[in-house]
Amino acid sequence: MTVTVWTTVTAPGFHRWPDATGARSYLADRHRHLFHITVHAAVSHDDRDVEFHDLQDLIRAWWGPGARECGSSSCEDLARQLWTVLQNDHQLTPVRVEVSEDGESGASLTGVS
């Protein structure tokens, strides 16, 4: 059995999809989203290895203040970046990291690191 805690943070940001063509060519231009970021982290006991609010703080610190400039990073890219930071810099065990655009569409990475 794996026990996880999870939290969600909403943060403004800008990105673009440089290779967008056809009906979606407008996505090649810089545009804004409210990114919804959800992290599920494994814990080894019921007193938690990481407190919910501390996990939120880690996500917000990684994102940075205000609207983040994400360049051409996709939701998948952002989820992978956050996973790596949580695992390598904070010794947490991510189990699932989700990043969505406006809570409508997004990507998730799942697995035990």
CATH number, domain containing residue 45: 3.30.479.10
Q: Alpha-carbon distance 20 to 60, whole Å?
A: 29
CA-nearest of 109, 106, 89, 85 to 97 is: 109
Measured from the Cβ of residue 85, the count of other Cβ atoms closer than 10 Å reads: 16
Residue 112, pLDDT score: 60
Q: Alpha-carbon distance 105 to 94, whole Å?
A: 21
How wide is the angle at C-alpha 86 spanned by C-alphas 14 and 61, nearest 5°?
50
Residue 39, pLDDT score: 98
Q: pTM for the whole thing?
A: 0.94
Residue 86, pLDDT score: 97
| Domain housing 14 | 3-110
Q: For the segment 27-53, what is each residue's pLDDT rounded down to a tens digit?
A: 999 999 999 999 999 998 888 889 999
Q: For the segment 64-95, what is each residue's pLDDT rounded down to a tens digit?
A: 999 999 999 999 999 999 999 999 999 999 99
Question: Count of domains in the chain?
Answer: 1
Given a cut of 70, is residue 113 above it in pLDDT?
A: no
Residue 43, pLDDT score: 92
Given a cut of 70, is residue 3 above it in pLDDT?
A: yes
How wide is the angle at C-alpha 65 spanned by C-alphas 31 and 24, nearest 5°?
10
